[in-house]
Every structure is written in structure tokens, then in C-alpha cells.
Amino acid sequence: MRYSYKLSDAIHILAYIEIFKTKDLSSQAIAASIGANASVVRNLMLDLRAAGLLTTRQGVAKPALARAPEAISLYDVYQAINMTHQLLHVDPKTNPNCLVGGQIQTTLDHMYTTVEAAAYQKMAAMPLTDVIQDILQQASC
């Protein structure tokens, strides 16, 4: 099973841009912080810009948040990135001739939908400022 780190990387990018707004904001500098390739950063920044969370200018390494960090929720970032927007996944290859295998998909789909709705609601209540403040608090310890 492969995990996507797009959400954490996108949040990382936004926090980095806000914390280091007067420093080097090139995709290479941000990629060094993430531990990724600069093209990964550029692609995520395109998603964030398209969603209205980030402003950029071609040829100038000075991206900026398009809104105040307290006005950007983790759910906004989640919605902005180009990925499957489903937190939980049901195995589609169960045995339909088995009592459990024939019913588990429908049962879990219903339950997972409820869990995802609660998770999205929590994410919507978590602003980027919480991430930034926690990073800075940990760094000062």
C-alpha cells in the first residue's frame, strides 16, 4: 500500500512560505525543507495557486499566501491538492458469495462516509495558524 504525502507537503509549503516570507522561497529551498524534488513542490504550488491559497509570479521566487493563515483551513488545503479525496478505502475484491464478503463493502461505505464527514469538519476548524504556531513553539523549546 502506498501513502500519499501530498497533503502534509502542501501544508508544509504554506507554513514554510509564511514563516520564511523574507527568505529564499524558491522551489529548491522549499524542496530541501520537505526532502523532495523541486518539481513536486512546483506541482503542489500550482494546485494551491489554482485553489486561491497561494499567489505566485512567473520568474520570481516570491510566493505568498493569498489569504491570511487564519483564513486557510487544513480542509481548504486538502480540497486544493490534486488527489483522490477519500480518506478511507474499502477493499473492492471481496467474495460476493460469502456472507461477510458480500455485505462488507456496503456496510463499510456507509460507516466510512460518516467518519470522513467528521474528519472533514475537524479539518475545516483547524487553521494554518495552528500549524505555524505549533512549529514555532516546538522550535523554541
Question: Between vectors from CA 57 to CA 41 and to CA 81, what angle results, nearest 5°?
Answer: 35
Task: Provide the pLDDT confidence category of residue 2 given band limits of 50, 70 and 90.
Answer: low
Q: Which of 62, 52, 68, 57 is nearest to 29 (CA)?
A: 62
- The mean pLDDT value for 63-83 works out to 95
**What DSSP state is assigned to residue 24?**
-
The pLDDT value recorded for residue 1 is: 53
Indicate the fold that domain 5-84+127-139 takes in CATH. Arc Repressor Mutant, subunit A (1.10.10)
Of residues 85 and 101, more confidently modeled: 101
For 89-126, write each residue's pLDDT tens digit: 889 899 999 999 999 999 999 999 999 999 999 999 99
Residue 55 main-chain phi, psi, to 5 deg = -115, 140
* Per-domain boundaries in the chain: 5-84+127-139
Average pLDDT score over the chain: 93
